[in-house]
Amino acid sequence: MASGGGDAAFAGSIPELYEKLLVPLIFEPYAQDLARRLAERPPARILEIAAGTGVVTRAMASSLPAGTAIVATDLNQAMLDRAAAIGTARPVEWRASDAMALPFADLAFDAVVCQFGAMFFPGKAQAFAEARRVLRPGGTFLFNVWDRIEENEFADAVTTALAALFPEDPPRFLARTPHGYHDTDAICRDLAAAGFTTRAEISTLAGRSVAESARIPAMAYCEGTPLRGEIEARGRSRLGEATEVAADAIARRFGAGRVDGRIQARVISVAK
């Protein structure tokens, strides 16, 4: 992640819940997609920014040639600690750093990859400019962002349920940040402002989010993301209540047993 206040605060028990619940729920298929795209033309040296608990890092370490060097970074040391504890198929370099002020030399990498991190950057053009700065000529900046919240059904159900629970001050983290940067024109403007002059390739990739019960996505979103801080700011005792309300809403919409909802993201690739 990059510095961005409470919306980028992944600390306490969040890294563990994020890895246990959110990674298999929504992140794993998109991580495999990014790794496959990189494997088509394997770069010699990759920088990953906003690596989180390392789902993309693990996919790259397993699928890319052994000679490909991988440096994985995140603003939150707790997330990197969790990633390092899980481990990878081969060694990678873990390093805490801010995507808006990368501690690397110019022209140091053949590819920069970022999974669902750009939405958190308070200065997106600045972060993109940093990615461009560390890329070698001809290098690729590859990243993805979530589509609008209405196209991501569990997140939408949770947000709607919490709006009913807290009608005077609804928690809007999911709509505001993870699902708040989906407009392709805005993305292209930020890339241009960062100095990218080639046309970005943007595709929309739909998938399915599946869990054995409605409580799993409710816990994932309410307790395994910074939405937790928004809920607890309305009363520390309200977290359990909010999770149950969200679980009930998901069960009403998708069934009481195994649940299956739509997810959708944008995938962006731009060359330097």
Q: Three-state DSSP class for 228?
A: helix
Distance CA 55, CA 62 (A): 11
Count of the separate structural domains present in the chain: 1
Average pLDDT estimate for 156-178: 97
Query: Is pLDDT above 50 for 161?
Result: yes
Predicted confidence (pLDDT) per residue in 91-149, tens digit: 999 999 999 999 999 999 999 999 999 999 999 999 999 999 999 999 999 999 999 99
Q: So what's the pLDDT on residue 249?
A: 98
What region does 58 belong to: left with phi over 0, alpha with psi -120 to 50, or beta?
alpha
What are the DSSP calls for 182-203, one per residue? --HHHHHHHHHHTT--SPPEEE
| pLDDT 10s digits, 185-237 | 999 999 999 999 999 999 999 999 999 999 999 999 999 999 999 999 999 89
- Provide the domain limits for residue 200: 5-271
Residue 12 scores a pLDDT above 50:
yes
Which CATH number do you get for residue 29?
Answer: 3.40.50.150
Residue 265 CA to residue 97 CA, distance in Å, equals 25
| pLDDT given for residue 235 in this prediction | 92
Q: How far apart (Å, rounded) are the C-alpha atoms in residues 152 and 174?
A: 10
Q: Quick one: pLDDT band at residue 256, thresholds 50, 70, 90?
A: confident
What pLDDT score does 240 carry?
Answer: 97
Tell me the mean pLDDT in the region 60-79. Answer: 96
Q: What is the pLDDT of residue 6?
A: 56
User: What's residue 236's pLDDT?
Assistant: 85
Three-state DSSP class for 72?
strand
Sign of the CA dihedral running 149, 150, 152, 155: positive
Buried b (16+ CB within 10 A) or exposed e, 176-195: ebbbbbbeeeebbebbeebe
CA distance 230 to 236: 10
pLDDT of residue 1 exceeding 70, the answer is no
